[in-house]
Amino acid sequence: MTTLVACSHGTRSPVGRQVVAAIVEAVRAELPDVDVRPAFVDVEEPEVGGVVAGVTGPLVVVPLLLSRGYHTGVDIARAVGTRADAVQTAPLGPHPLMSEVLLARLAETLGQDGLRPGDHLVLAAAGSSEAVAAVDVEATAADLRRHVSVPVSVGFAAGATPRIGDAVAQARSDGAARVVCLSYVLAPGHFADVVRAAGADLTTAPLGADPRIARIVVDRFAAALREFGRV
110 and 179 both lie in a single domain: yes
Q: Which residues contact 177 (CB under 8 A, 6 or more apart)?
A: 117, 118, 119
168 and 216 both lie in a single domain: no
Taking only the tens place, the pLDDT of each residue in 57-102 is 999 999 999 999 888 878 999 999 999 999 999 999 999 999 999 9
176 and 101 both lie in a single domain: yes
Taking the CA atoms of residue 176, residue 109, residue 97 and residue 59 in that order, the dihedral angle to the nearest 10 degrees is: 120
Closest CA to 75 of 24, 14, 192, 64: 64
In the predicted structure, residue 130 carries a pLDDT above the cut 60: yes
Q: CB burial class (10 A; 0-12, 13-18, 19+) of residue 132?
A: middle
User: What does each C-alpha distance from 51 to 5, 29, 56, 194 come to in angstroms?
Assistant: 8, 21, 10, 31
76 and 137 both lie in a single domain: no
- Largest interatomic CA distance in the chain: 57
Question: Are residues 69 and 132 in contact, defined by beta-carbon separation less than 8 angstroms?
Answer: yes
180 and 101 both lie in a single domain: yes
The phi, psi pair for 5, rounded to 5°, reads -105, 115
Q: Which domain holds residue 141?
A: 96-203
Total structural domains within the chain: 2
119 and 182 both lie in a single domain: yes
196 and 214 both lie in a single domain: no
Q: Which residues contact 87 (CB under 8 A, 6 or more apart)?
A: 59, 60, 61, 80, 224, 228, 231
CATH of the domain at 184: 3.40.50
106 and 45 both lie in a single domain: no
CATH of the domain at 84: 3.40.50.1400
Across the range 111-120, mean pLDDT stands at 94
In the predicted structure, residue 224 carries a pLDDT above the cut 80: yes
Q: According to the model, what pLDDT value does residue 230 have?
A: 57
Q: According to the model, what pLDDT value does residue 129 have?
A: 86
Question: Are residues 130 and 70 in contact, defined by beta-carbon separation less than 8 angstroms?
Answer: yes
The alpha-helical segments, DSSP class H, found in the chain are 14-30, 48-54, 70, 77-80, 96-110, 131-145, 164-173, 190-196, 211-228
192 and 152 both lie in a single domain: yes
> Residues of the chain with pLDDT > 90: what percent?
88
180 and 121 both lie in a single domain: yes
36 and 112 both lie in a single domain: no
In the predicted structure, residue 231 carries a pLDDT above the cut 70: no
Write out the H or E segment, with its range, that includes residue 60. Answer: strand 59-63
Taking only the tens place, the pLDDT of each residue in 150-201 is 999 999 999 999 999 999 999 999 999 999 999 999 999 899 999 999 999 9
Taking only the tens place, the pLDDT of each residue in 22-55 is 999 999 999 999 999 999 998 889 999 999 999 9
Closest CA to 180 of 160, 156, 198: 198
Residue 179 CA to residue 173 CA, distance in Å, equals 11
100 and 176 both lie in a single domain: yes
